[in-house]
Structure 1
Amino acid sequence: MLVQAPVSLDYTMYDLYAVDNDGNTRPDLFYYPFGFKVDESLPVKFVYNFGLETEMKSTVDPNALMEMMVRGLAQRYGFFAGKLHIFLPISTFGDKKESPNRVELERTFSQIHHDQIPDLGFVTSPADIVLSPEPGIAVVVPTDSILTIPHAVDPDTHYELLSKRGLAFSGLLTPPTVVVDAEIAPDEVQDPQQLQQAMQRMLEPLETYQIPFFVKLNQSVSGKGVFAVTSEAHREQVKKILGVQLQEMLRQINDINSHLHPSSFILQDYIPGKVVALSMFVTQKGRAIFNACCQQHFDSRGYWIGGQISYPEQEALKQKYAETMNQIAKFLHQRGYYGPAGADIVTDGDGKNYTVDLNVRVTGTHPLGPLAGHFTQRGLKNATMITEYFTCSRSDFERAFKAEIADGALIICSWVREEAIGLSHGGVTIGGADNEKLESLMARVLALSGIPKAVPDDSY
Structure 2
Amino acid sequence: MSAPGSVVLDYTLHDLYNADDQDYDICMVNAYAPPPSIPLAAHIPAIKQFPVQAPLCPAYDQDELTRTILHLVAQRFAFCAGPMRILVLESESQKSQCSSHGRSQADISKVFSQLQEKQRPLPLFVPISDLSKFRLDAKTKLAVTGPLDWFSHIPQVIDPRIHYNLLSKRGLAKSGLPTPRTIVIDTVLSPSPTEPFTDKDLQPEIARMTKPILETPIPFIVKVPRITGVGQGTFIVHTEADRSSVYEVFLEEVKLMLLALNPANECLATCNVIIQEMVPGETASLNFFVTQTGRAIFNCCNHQDVDDAYIWSGGLVSYNEQAVLESQYRETMDAVAHFLHKHGYYGPAGVDIMTDETGVQFVVDLNVRITATYHLGPLRGHFTRRGFSEAAAMSTFRLTCTQAEFESHFAEELCSGSLVLTAWVHLQEASLVTMTVAARDRTGLQEIVQKVSEFADNFASTDHSYTS
Residue 30 of structure 2 is aligned to residue 31 of structure 1: yes
Residue 315 of structure 2 is aligned to residue 319 of structure 1: no
Shift of 1:98: 5.8
Q: Deviations over 1:78-97 (max 9, x none)?
A: 11110111111243335489
- AA partner of residue 148 (structure 1): H
- 1:458 aligns with none
- AA partner of residue 95 (structure 2): T
The 1-side partners of 2:306 and 2:74 are apart by 20
Residues 1:210 and 1:134: Cα distance change in structure 2 (over 3 Å): farther
Contact 1:4 1:407 survives alignment (8 Å) = no
- AA partner of residue 209 (structure 1): T
- 1:170 aligns with 175
- 1:16 aligns with 16
Contact 1:33 1:74 survives alignment (8 Å) = no
Q: Deviations over 1:335-361 (max 9, x none)?
A: 111111101111100111110010000
The 1-side partners of 2:101 and 2:240 are apart by 56
- AA partner of residue 389 (structure 1): R
Q: How many residues align?
A: 447
- 1:115 aligns with 118
- 1:212 aligns with 219
The 1-side partners of 2:3 and 2:210 are apart by 58
Q: How does 1:139-158 map to 2 (within 5 A)?
A: 139-158=144-163
Shift of 1:39: 6.6
- 2:139 aligns with 134
- TM-score w.r.t. structure 2 length? 0.90
**RMSD between aligned alpha carbons?**
2.3
Residues 1:254 and 1:137: Cα distance change in structure 2 (over 3 Å): same
Contact 1:160 1:260 survives alignment (8 Å) = yes
The 2-side partners of 1:112 and 1:157 are apart by 34
Q: How does 1:423-438 map to 2 (within 5 A)?
A: 423-438=430-445
- 2:37 aligns with none
Aligned residue for 1:319, secondary structure, equals: helix
Aligned residue for 2:110, secondary structure, equals: helix
Q: Deviations over 1:395-417 (max 9, x none)?
A: 21111111211111110011111
Unaligned runs of 5+ in 1: 456-460
Q: How does 1:337-416 map to 2 (within 5 A)?
A: 337-387=345-395, 388-416=397-425
The 2-side partners of 1:307 and 1:41 are apart by 33
Residue 165 of structure 2 is aligned to residue 160 of structure 1: yes
The 1-side partners of 2:305 and 2:420 are apart by 18
Residues 1:438 and 1:302: Cα distance change in structure 2 (over 3 Å): same
Residues 1:3 and 1:10: Cα distance change in structure 2 (over 3 Å): closer
The 1-side partners of 2:47 and 2:77 are apart by 29
Q: Deviations over 1:355-404 (max 9, x none)?
A: 00100000111010000000000000000001222232222111111121
Aligned residue for 2:137, secondary structure, equals: coil
Shift of 1:299: 2.9
Shift of 1:424: 1.3
Residue among 442, 446, 465 paired with 1:439: 446
The 2-side partners of 1:87 and 1:350 are apart by 46
- AA partner of residue 33 (structure 1): Y
Q: Deviations over 1:142-164 (max 9, x none)?
A: 11112111111100000000000
- AA partner of residue 399 (structure 2): F
The 1-side partners of 2:96 and 2:113 are apart by 24
Residues 1:209 and 1:7: Cα distance change in structure 2 (over 3 Å): same
The 2-side partners of 1:109 and 1:41 are apart by 30
Q: How does 1:286-297 map to 2 (within 5 A)?
A: 286-297=294-305
- 2:53 aligns with 49
Contact 1:344 1:357 survives alignment (8 Å) = yes
Residues 1:3 and 1:136: Cα distance change in structure 2 (over 3 Å): closer
Residues 1:317 and 1:146: Cα distance change in structure 2 (over 3 Å): same
Residue 75 of structure 2 is aligned to residue 75 of structure 1: yes
Shift of 1:300: 3.7
Contact 1:92 1:101 survives alignment (8 Å) = no
Identity of aligned residues (%): 35
The 2-side partners of 1:313 and 1:74 are apart by 30
Q: Deviations over 1:114-143 (max 9, x none)?
A: 111112211113157442333410000011
Mean Cα displacement is larger for which, 283-292 or 69-78? 69-78
Residue 310 of structure 2 is aligned to residue 302 of structure 1: yes
Unaligned runs of 5+ in 2: 35-39
Contact 2:4 2:116 survives alignment (8 Å) = no
The 1-side partners of 2:41 and 2:79 are apart by 24
Contact 2:3 2:415 survives alignment (8 Å) = yes
Aligned residue for 2:450, secondary structure, equals: helix
Aligned residue for 1:429, secondary structure, equals: strand
Q: Deviations over 1:422-458 (max 9, x none)?
A: 2211110101001111111111111232554479xxx
The 1-side partners of 2:343 and 2:2 are apart by 47
Residues 1:37 and 1:169: Cα distance change in structure 2 (over 3 Å): farther
- AA partner of residue 84 (structure 2): L
Mean Cα displacement is larger for which, 63-72 or 177-186? 63-72
Shift of 1:43: 7.5
Residues 1:411 and 1:203: Cα distance change in structure 2 (over 3 Å): same
Residues 1:5 and 1:29: Cα distance change in structure 2 (over 3 Å): closer
Contact 2:28 2:86 survives alignment (8 Å) = yes
- TM-score w.r.t. structure 1 length? 0.92
The 2-side partners of 1:306 and 1:403 are apart by 23
